[in-house]
Amino acid sequence: MKKKLLILTVLIAIFEFSSIAQKRPTTNKNKMILGFSEELNLTSEQIEQIKKIQSENVEKNKILKEKQKQINEELMVNNVEMRHKIKDVLTTEQFEKLKNLIKDSLKNKRELRKKTAMELKEYNEKNIKPVISLKRKDFDKLLNETEKKIIGEYIAKHKALKESKFKDSNPEILKERRKALQKETSIALKPIIKKHKDELEKILNDLKPQYEKWQADIKEIKTKNGNTEYAKQNERKHEQNFNKKNAAIKFLLYDFEE
């Protein structure tokens, strides 16, 4: 039975008309270094050296990305050829049966994703949202009108970008827009984070144990609904997300009035 499921999974991967060998999002910790220049007490000479290293790295990455693009295209062609070869091996009856099996399997996956999304939404509404909203609402009392206005503008910008992903089907464009907005947001909110550093650190330290519990519960929900691999892949990502800088920005951008 396990062997049959494995074969079906492989065939689904081959026959699905989705992009093959998609690039996984990566986090570049090197780019974060200059964001901590004050904390690290970097000298102007060190900053210039780091900038030069990063610039050289960008150029190297451009070359590698071009190579990766070519490899992805070759992989896609190769997988299309494989689909045709497998089709030639199967009888007409077998091929039709395979298509139905794939169709049913994909339907089950969609239903599982839908079920998972509903459970996660319920969990968020019940456990996460009330806690974060209360903390964020209390913190808002410490902000002046200018700070509130800046934060409000970036909350709106991030919402607009999130909504645009349903309209713009080009993932590369969305990725670049997201990257640019993250950088812009980090720069705009840096003075606010610096000014309220002590208050934010206290809030984030208070939230960290709860955050860890939330992530454990979320992982359990995903694993229970058959998203084991997804849960494993995101476990490290969630841990990395709770660094002081990212957490502070996310906290400020949390719309407690929503």
Mean pLDDT of 123-142: 94
Q: Dihedral sign, CA of 150, 156, 162, 166?
A: negative
Chain Cα centroid distance, residue 221: 18
pLDDT of amino acid 169: 60
- The residue written with tokens 């990257």 in the block is 179
pLDDT of residue 37: 76
Dihedral sign, Cα of residue 51, residue 57, residue 59, residue 61:
negative
Band of residue 144 on the pLDDT scale cut at 50, 70, 90: very high
pLDDT (tens digit, 9 = 90+) per residue, 199-241? Answer: 999 999 999 899 889 999 998 988 887 666 555 555 544 444 4
In whole angstroms, what is the distance from residue 239 CA to residue 90 CA? 46
Listed in sequence order, the residues at least 6 apart from 134 whose beta carbon sits closer than 8 Å to its beta carbon are: 256
Distance CA 116, CA 228 (A): 12
Q: Give residue-wise pLDDT tens across range 55-73.
A: 888 888 888 888 888 898 8
CB 68 within 8 A of CB 23: yes
Buried b (16+ CB within 10 A) or exposed e, 116-154: beeebeebeeeebeeebeebbeebeeebeeebeebbeeb
Q: What pLDDT sits at residue 6?
A: 44
Q: What is the pTM of this model?
A: 0.58
Instruction: Calculate what percentage of the chain has a pLDDT beyond 70.
Output: 76
